[in-house]
Amino acid sequence: MKTRILTVALILGLTSCKKVDEEKPVISIETPANNQHFEPGKTIDLKGKITDNEALSQVKIDMHSGDGHIHKSTKSIFDLEEIIDIEGKEYALNLPITIPADADTGLYHLIIEATDAEGNEAEFVELDLEIHEH
């Protein structure tokens, strides 16, 4: 422990104590809810907020089939990816996602990721959504 304190002191002494942004951005999603069900042809209202202590950089929205692998289906595999440049300390996420009428039914993952300008990665949000016909 003593060596550690000494070394830390040495490092701090050698560097001019520049402040480094180590705070991650934070993602909070209002809608949809986890495990929410949707019908093909309907719209998912993705709404939420992304905040950072200094400056945001990008948000990435990724929706794909839940088993993650190629499956032999006659229907189209619904797959969405949006990368949006964002800035400032707060960003209001508002992205309507329209599910194609012929989308393959089943489990889908909706993943929202964000970074700040320093490259700090937010803990991503992963939602499981069910697409099925009524």
Partner 1 sequence: MRIFLFAVFFFFTFILKSQKIEGVVLGDSSPIANASVFLHEFSKVVITSQNGEFIFENIPNGTYHLHINFLGYEPEVVLVQSPQKNPITIELHQSSIEIREIEIEESLLNSINDNRARNIEVLNQDQISNSTDVGLVEAMAKLPGVQMINIGNNAAKPIIRGLGFNRVLTNVNGIKQEGQQWGADHGLAIDEGNIESIEIVKGANSLIYGSDALGGVINMHQNSTLPDFGTSVNIGLKLNSVNMRYAPKASIGFRKGDFFTKLSGSFAKAGDIAVPASSFNYNTFVYPIYNEQLKNTASHNYAGSISFGMIKKWGQLRLNHIVFDQKIGFFPGAHGRPNFNLLFDDSNRFDIDMPYQTINNSNTSLQTDFYLPKGWLELDVGFQQNTRQEFEIPHAHKLGPAPENNLALGLSLNTITANIRYHFAPGQGKSIVGVSGQHQQNNEEGFEYFLPSFNTSSTGIFWYREKPVTENVIVNYGARADYLSQHIEQKNISVYNQLNEEIGDTTLTQKRDNSFQNITGAIGFVFKPDHTKVFKINLGSGFRFPTVPELSANGFHHGTFRFEVGNTNLKPERTLSLDGSVNYHNKKFAIDVSPYVNYFLNYIFLEPTGKFASKANGGGQIHQYNQANSLHLGLEFFADWHIVKALHAELKGDGVFGYNLNTNRNLPFMPPINLRLNLSYQISKPEAKNTAEVFAGSNYFASQNLVAINELETPQSIIFNSGVSFRNKSKNPFQIKFEVQNLFNTAYLYHLSRFRLLNLPEAGRSLNMSINYKF
Closest CA to 25 of 125, 106, 111, 126: 125
Element containing residue 4 per DSSP (H, E): helix 2-14
| Listed residue (29, 34, 31) closest to 124, CA to CA | 29
Q: Check residue 58 for interaction with partner 1 (CB under 8 A).
A: yes
**Cα–Cα distance, 3 to 29 (Å, whole number):** 45
Q: Which residue in the set 5, 13, 15, 74 belongs to the binding site for partner 1 (CB under 8 A)? A: 15
Residue 3 found at the interface with partner 1 (CB under 8 A): yes
Q: Is 83 in the site for partner 1 (CB under 8 A)?
A: yes
Stretch touching partner 1 by CB under 8 A, among 35-43, 90-98, 116-124: 116-124
Q: How far apart are CA 85 and CA 76, in angstroms?
A: 29
**Mapping DSSP to helix (H, G, I), strand (E, B) and coil, where does residue 5 land?**
helix
Our CB check for partner 1 shows the closer of 3 and 134 to be 3
Per CB under 8 A, residues contacting partner 1 are 1, 3-4, 7-8, 10-11, 14-15, 18, 20, 22, 57-58, 60, 62, 64-71, 77, 79, 81, 83, 113, 115-121, 123-124, 126
